[in-house]
Amino acid sequence: MKKIVVLAACMCCYFFSQAQVQVGADKSFTKSLNDYSTFGWSTQIEQIPSDQIFVSPNGVLVFNNESLRNKIKNAIAFELNAKGFKHQQSNPDILALFRVTERPGKLRTFNGYEMIDNGLDSVRTPQDTQTVDIDAGTLIINLLDAKSGVVAWQGYASGILKPDMINDNTKVREAVASIFQKFDFRAKH
């Protein structure tokens, strides 16, 4: 029995090491998330993107179903709470939202803005973004400054969610935790 547990642990570590975990932040975002203490959910959090839905052969939505979305939401809240952020839906400091891709594709990641008009304004140019290939089952988590709407932090793991793991709360939590390992902030107290 002990050998089975060790083997299972090794397999989990191998599986999660194969996912490409990347994080980024909008370089024009000059504040630190260490200056914030509360988070809330974006109003878009409950919207399942109809153009990104994949239905399995048995007629079930694979990634963008209510059950999996609730598991991911709970796992994100757990990670943010562990970093000292308190959930406050009314007037939070940061807004959290996420997306799970149903198909392989490309993700445009944030790489800053170019300042114009002597620093009075900024624009995003093609040089300020990076496009990366992602697999189906990619989990993308964005944290936005609630006042400005600027992306303060983005983390994603390419292909980390597999259809056979969506009913396993532990595996979903591990997937979210692997992204938050790159979240180097603690809430202000």
Question: SS3 of 122, please?
Answer: strand
Domain chopping of the chain, boundaries: 20-180
> Exposed e or buried b for every residue in 25-51, given b needs 16+ CB within 10 A?
bbebbeeebeebbbbbbbeebeeeeee
- Give the pLDDT mean for 29-54: 74
* The pLDDT value given to residue 176: 93
User: In the predicted model, is pLDDT for residue 18 greater than 60?
Assistant: no
Q: How far apart are CA 78 and CA 73, in angstroms?
A: 9
* The pLDDT value given to residue 39: 97
User: In the predicted model, is pLDDT for residue 22 greater than 70?
Assistant: no
Q: Are 146 and 35 in contact (CB under 8 A)?
A: no
Phi, psi of 93 (to 5 degrees): -75, -40
- Give the pLDDT mean for 75-87: 97
How many C-beta neighbours within 10 Å does residue 166 have? 21
pTM for this model (two decimals): 0.73
Q: Are 36 and 189 in contact (CB under 8 A)?
A: no
Could you tell me which residues are beta bridge partners of residue 156?
A: 22, 140
- Give the pLDDT mean for 87-115: 80
* Higher pLDDT pick, 145 / 32: 145
User: In the predicted model, is pLDDT for residue 84 greater than 80?
Assistant: yes
Q: Cα–Cα distances in Å, from 87 out to 15, 76, 170, 187?
A: 31, 11, 22, 12
Q: In the 8-state DSSP scheme, what is residue 135?
A: -
Q: How far apart are CA 110 and CA 153, in angstroms?
A: 9
- 20-180 folds as Double Stranded RNA Binding Domain (3.30.160)
> Exposed e or buried b for every residue in 66-79, given b needs 16+ CB within 10 A?
eebbebbbebbbeb
Q: Are 23 and 183 in contact (CB under 8 A)?
A: yes
Listed in order, strand segments (DSSP E) in 25-88 are 38-41, 86-87
pLDDT in tens, 123-175: 445 555 677 888 888 888 989 899 988 888 888 888 888 888 878 899 899 99
Per the prediction, the chain carries an average pLDDT of 74
